[in-house]
Amino acid sequence: MTILVTGARGNVGRRVLERLHAAGHPLRASGRTPAELSVPAGVDTARLDLNGPDTFEAALRGVDKVFLYAESDGAKEFFAAAAEAGVRHVVLLSSSTVGGQDAASDPLAQHHAAVEDALLASALPGTVLRPGAFAGNAFGWSDAIRTGKPVELPYADAHTAPVHEDDIADVAVAALAGEAHLGRTLTLTGPESLTFREQLAVLGELLGREVPVRELTRDEAVERMGRFVPEPVLTSLLSQWAAAVGKPAGTTGTVQDLTGRPGRTFRQWAGENLGAFAAQD
Ligand SMILES: NC(=O)c1ccc[n+]([C@@H]2O[C@H](COP(=O)([O-])OP(=O)(O)OC[C@H]3O[C@@H](n4cnc5c(N)ncnc54)[C@H](OP(=O)(O)O)[C@@H]3O)[C@@H](O)[C@H]2O)c1
């Protein structure tokens, strides 16, 4: 009765792994380079490249549940191999963009939708998690804040409802626990809508100093972010943020429903991670 956790060193995957391990489940942690995985003692590891069908059979042997990252190339083959191995529940980490108004023209949404569709078309029982923006995206501001430079970003007044990665992991573990959530698609948000500027103000308040913000034009953002963000992802993000300026993000009760407690706030996330933003002596 082994649970396979893919992306076991990812922000969400490693949290899922920790929780399942603490609950005593037999586990297999996977990644493309298993030597780079840091797993609790006794946890089995496997090489799994979701784009590489030749790695599927060994990684899935003896597995009955899977926590899965969305990789569209190879998804159909992965679900076929999982069904063959006897898997009876897949919890897929997808994205709220799939349910967005612009999903049909959004490359990020299309990438996740392709995996959702492949899961649906397979014979496998599944639960789809569609989180919105992660609270941890704020780490992208840490270098500027730590060194006292203005945080430069486009669409500073765009709203998101940042969801704490611990809440995504808690929901994933609750979904994996039984059969109550089979066949469901769950959209996850944090408990409140905040603009990027408001998130930065929370960080500044906790740090006890002002965090200056310089708003970039779209062209400036394309020039800077395009150096490290793939073009389809950048296009998707900029369109989402442009549409979210001055428009509070909707929130869902998924975290409360599955865990029995409210979702963690961005302030809580910021407090837990303040060290990454504090100036170093
Ligand atoms: N950030 C957001 O605001 C947001 C919002 C909604 C949805 N999402 C979605 O959430 C996911 C990112 O989650 P995260 O932050 O936890 O990810 P992360 O920390 O960037 O880690 C990604 C994980 O995916 C694994 N992975 C990537 N390609 C793989 C492949 N071909 N085969 C096997 N494993 C592969 C990596 O494993 P190895 O490198 O060890 O192989 C890594 O552990 C993405 O699908 C993203 O679109 C993000």
Range of the domain at 25: 2-124
The answer to whether the beta carbons of residues 86 and 60 sit under 8 Å apart is: no
**Do the domain assignments include residue 129?**
no
Residues 6+ apart with CB under 8 A from 223: none
H-only helix segments in 122-253: 142-146, 165-177, 196-207, 218-225, 231-243
For residue 162 and ligand 1, the question of a CB distance below 6 A is answered with no
Does residue 151 share a domain with residue 102? no
Q: What's the pLDDT score for residue 280?
A: 77
Does residue 144 share a domain with residue 215? yes
State how far the Cα of 47 lies from the Cα of 217, in Å rounded to an integer: 42
For residue 11 and ligand 1, the question of a CB distance below 6 A is answered with yes
For residue 51 and ligand 1, the question of a CB distance below 6 A is answered with yes
Does residue 143 share a domain with residue 243? yes
Q: Please tell me the distance between residue 195's alpha carbon and the centre of ligand 1 in angstroms.
A: 24
**Do the domain assignments include residue 209?**
yes
Do you know the residue count of the chain?
281
Q: Which residue's alpha carbon is nearest to atom 38 within ligand 1?
A: 31
Q: What's the pLDDT score for residue 123?
A: 83
Q: Please tell me the distance between residue 224's alpha carbon and the centre of ligand 1 in angstroms.
A: 22
Domain count of the fold of the chain: 2
Q: Identify the three-state secondary structure at position 112.
A: helix
Does residue 155 share a domain with residue 88? no
**Do the domain assignments include residue 98?**
yes
Does residue 156 share a domain with residue 86? no
Q: Identify the three-state secondary structure at position 54.
A: helix
Which of 66, 69, 236, 269 has most ligand 1 atoms within 8 Å of CB, for mutation? 69
Q: DSSP character for 263?
A: P
**Do the domain assignments include residue 144?**
yes
Q: Tell me, what CATH number does 233's domain have?
A: 3.90.25.10
Mean pLDDT by 10 residues, the chain (281 residues): 96 98 97 95 96 98 98 97 98 97 93 98 96 98 97 98 98 96 97 98 97 97 95 94 97 98 98 95 68
Question: Which DSSP helix (H) or strand (E) runs through 222?
Answer: helix 218-225
**Do the domain assignments include residue 42?**
yes
Q: Identify the three-state secondary structure at position 260.
A: coil
